[in-house]
Amino acid sequence: MRGVIFDGRQPQVVDDLDVRDAGPGEVLVGIRAAGLCHSDLSVVDGTIPFPVPVVLGHEGAGVVEAVGPGVRHVAPGDHVALSTLANCGACSDCDQGRPTMCRSSIGRPGRPFSRAGKPLFNFASNSAFAERTVVKAVQAVKIHPDIPFTSAALIGCGVLTGVGAALNRARIAGGDSVVVIGTGGIGLNVVQGARIAGALTIVAVDANPAKEAVARQFGATHFVDASAVPDTSAAVKEILPTGADHAFECVGSTRLIRQAVDLLDRHGQAVLLGVPPATAEASFLVSSMYLDKAILGCRYGSSRPQHDIALYAELYRAGRLLLDELVTATYPVEDFAKAADDAHHGRVARGVLTFGS
């Protein structure tokens, strides 16, 4: 079968992958569409260290082909969106509704794939850049079949992370003010999460002025073109003179992390979503924190995938959550190199790889 692998040197599309059958508590899914997220590119450029060879991809949707013993919530033929969270469901964190903190789900890749008899790792317990993949049952969330696969694929990472950060981690309240730094796939979902939460002022900041129209479409009330003003912080504070209740850094820049902290009002909170290099260090004025400000990390939107993916799918069907509008371009999997180049140069909000049925 076809798939995209990374051998430590370069990614390549191959057509001789194999994947094992679903075991107990697992689901075999035929992938129909998979979003290309910057996390995949971060594996390739080394920002995210990961063992190789690995089958890439972690933002997918498809059709259940088989289930292993003990799986009852999905059945062959069901449409599913996949999460990357292979949490155990039984530890204290899972039991307290914090599956993103499950230690069993962090840093323990499996090897369900093989090529010419040699095993390959799965990425993010998912590997959606393959015609078929095996995931834990908890990762497969049943969705209504009228949701296009190309849109459904995005729920399991970009939407879950961005919207979840707004609703679950920041807990934005009606009337709050929000600054979103970076309006790529994650940032746009923070914007629409803030809109859904009822934020009154949503300021999107990006160095690409072409992003303004889509940012406003997703719910931004203001847009600051960072490439056109000498002082981005000053431009934001013209809109929010006392600062923001919430500032989200969605780029992965330590400079912008500092900016997010500096843009906070009293009792404000900065939420870090971008992924800088693993050894990067950020700084801030300690004295600025004594006005009840907070800096929050956020893993995977602090989500509960079985609940949140199903919720976001229904919000989409109700017209309240935008998914189709995120898909800037679709590519057959064979065009992975072009999709990656478009994503790297910011030509797309989200590019989606497609597989035949």
pLDDT above 90 for 84: yes
Query: CB-side exposure of 76: number of CA atoms within 13 Å?
Result: 6
Cα(230)–Cα(320) distance, rounded to whole angstroms? 36
Which tokens is 247 given? 């500032």
Cα(60)–Cα(65) distance, rounded to whole angstroms? 15
pLDDT of residue 347: 81
Cα(288)–Cα(290) distance, rounded to whole angstroms? 6
Please, which pLDDT band fits residue 355 given cuts at 50, 70 and 90?
A: very high
Which tokens is 306 given? 């079985």
pLDDT above 80 for 106: no
Please, which pLDDT band fits residue 47 given cuts at 50, 70 and 90?
A: confident
Which tokens is 277 given? 């290099």
Per-residue pLDDT tens digits for 10-21: 999 999 999 999
Task: Give mean pLDDT, residues 106-123.
Answer: 90
C-beta separation of 148 from 155 below 8 A? no
pLDDT above 60 for 269: yes
pLDDT of residue 357: 56
Task: Give mean pLDDT, residues 59-83.
Answer: 97
Cα(350)–Cα(355) distance, rounded to whole angstroms? 16
With tokens 């292979």, the residue in question is 86
Q: Where are the alpha helices (DSSP H) in 96-211?
A: 149-152, 158-164, 185-197
Task: Give mean pLDDT, residues 233-247.
Answer: 97
Q: For a pLDDT cut of 70, what percent of the chain falls above it?
A: 99
Mean pLDDT of the chain: 94
pLDDT of residue 15: 95
Min mean pLDDT across 14-23, 150-159, 198-207, 344-353 is at 344-353
Please, which pLDDT band fits residue 107 given cuts at 50, 70 and 90?
A: low
pLDDT of residue 174: 97
Which tokens is 11 given? 């990614």
With tokens 């008899």, the residue in question is 117
Task: Give mean pLDDT, residues 54-60.
Answer: 96
Please, which pLDDT band fits residue 276 given cuts at 50, 70 and 90?
A: confident
Per-residue pLDDT tens digits for 147-183: 999 999 999 999 999 999 999 999 999 999 999 999 9
